[in-house]
Amino acid sequence: MNISEAARQAGLPAKTIRYYEDIGLVTPPRDPNGYRAFRPRDLHALTFVARARSLGFTIGECRALLHLYQDPTRASADVKEIARRHLGRIDAKLAELAALRATLTDLVDACAGDQRPDCPILKGLAATA
Amino acid sequence: MNISEAARQAGLPAKTIRYYEDIGLVTPPRDPNGYRAFRPRDLHALTFVARARSLGFTIGECRALLHLYQDPTRASADVKEIARRHLGRIDAKLAELAALRATLTDLVDACAGDQRPDCPILKGLAATA
DNA sequence: TATGGGGCTTCCCGTGACAGGAAGGTCAAG
DNA sequence: CTTGACCTTCCTGTCACGGGAAGCCCCATA
């Protein structure tokens, strides 16, 4: 299977797949003409990584998860630990964004949004405190 | 005022201030020895940008906000529009993260997290659907 | 006066996870 | 045989800086 078909099935841009090969996430063999020849298991790995990425796992985590995925002697505790850590990051990010949203909402609500120059948003941003 | 003192007062790394000068956000004059000499208004601009960045505005938005900040004939509507757009991005990001969190929480909860290889997280990631 | 230790400067490379595009080889159809 | 779609590698750019090297500059102390 050529790269464009692999890309279609995995739901990834061909560019991304080449990048994943560069960093060693997949290692498809080559046809005599130099084209990448994706095997079913390469496609599985790509699909796996695509889904993990879409859940926000970093490439490093994807690599670790992929290793575990391909290791029949894995312990589910190792997988869970990676996911739990990622969940912690998500929660932290959510809290941060919620705080930003609150501050920004206050500023936006206080601003008349008309043709006059007076603007609580700018005042808030300029505040030294 | 030298860069380290400006950095201290603005709450920014000196590296970041040099970068902001590179991209034209601030233009402090130079002392005869080549050192940057930050004036009060340079410091105001730096503080302004630092706060805007901490609220998640992009550099481009900070530039626009700074222009408006320094323009006495501005309309607060222009400021509000930038902030409103940013708020929209934050809301989108919050929704996305909440969805990720839900999916990931389900997977993590379903995983025993023991020494056995059976793992719903990996199964979920491998799922074609 | 020498010297030592900061602080300042520019310049270049690296980050994460790719995207865009150039230059050129390959393949199947007409 | 040509055309056009596909494939390859390689280089550059993204965003907002951070790290570090090489080399001035300034001030205090011996």
pLDDT band (50, 70, 90) for residue B128: low
Cα–Cα separations (whole angstroms), residue B16 to A21, B3, B20, B26, B33: 34, 10, 6, 11, 21
In our burial notation (b when 16+ CB lie closer than 10 A, e otherwise), range B73-106 reads ebbbebbbebbbebbeebeebbeebeebbeebee
| Cα-to-chain-centroid distance, residue A65 | 14
- Counting one residue from chain A and one from chain B, the pairs whose CB atoms sit within 8 A come to 160
Q: What per-residue confidence (pLDDT) applies to B127? A: 78
Q: Do A116 and B56 touch (CB under 8 A)?
A: no
Strand D close to B54 by CB, under 7 A: no
Q: Do A125 and B55 touch (CB under 8 A)?
A: yes
Q: Which tokens is A25 given? A: 């996430």
In whole numbers, what is the pLDDT of chain B averaged over residues?
Answer: 95
Sign of CA dihedral A111, A92, B93, B12: positive
How confident is the model over B70-84, as a mean pLDDT? Answer: 96
Nucleotides of C under 7 A from a protein CB: 7-10, 16-20, 26-27
Residues 6 or more apart whose Cβ sits within 8 Å of residue A76? B111, B112, B113, B114, B115, B116, B117, B118, B119, B121, B122
Strand C close to A53 by CB, under 7 A: yes
- Low-confidence residues in chain A, pLDDT < 70: 128-129
Residues 6 or more apart whose Cβ sits within 8 Å of residue A121? A107, A108, A110, A111, B76, B79, B80, B83
How confident is the model over B30-49, as a mean pLDDT? Answer: 96
Strand C close to A16 by CB, under 7 A: yes
Q: CA-to-C1' distance for B121 and C8, Å?
A: 53
Residues in A touching B67 (Cβ below 8 Å):
none
Rounded to whole angstroms, the Cα distance separating A20 from B40 reads: 49
Give B95-122 pLDDT, tens digit per residue: 999 999 999 999 999 999 999 999 999 9
Q: Do B77 and A128 touch (CB under 8 A)?
A: no
Residue of A nearest to B126 (CA): A48
Q: Do A104 and B55 touch (CB under 8 A)?
A: yes
Strand C close to A111 by CB, under 7 A: no
Q: How far is A49 from chain B (nearest CA, A)?
A: 8
Strand D close to A26 by CB, under 7 A: no
How confident is the model over B27-31, as a mean pLDDT? Answer: 97
Rounded to whole angstroms, the Cα distance separating B53 from B34 reads: 28
Q: What per-residue confidence (pLDDT) applies to A129? A: 46
Nearest to B94 among A69, A94, A128 (CB): A94
Residues in B touching A69 (Cβ below 8 Å):
122, 125-126
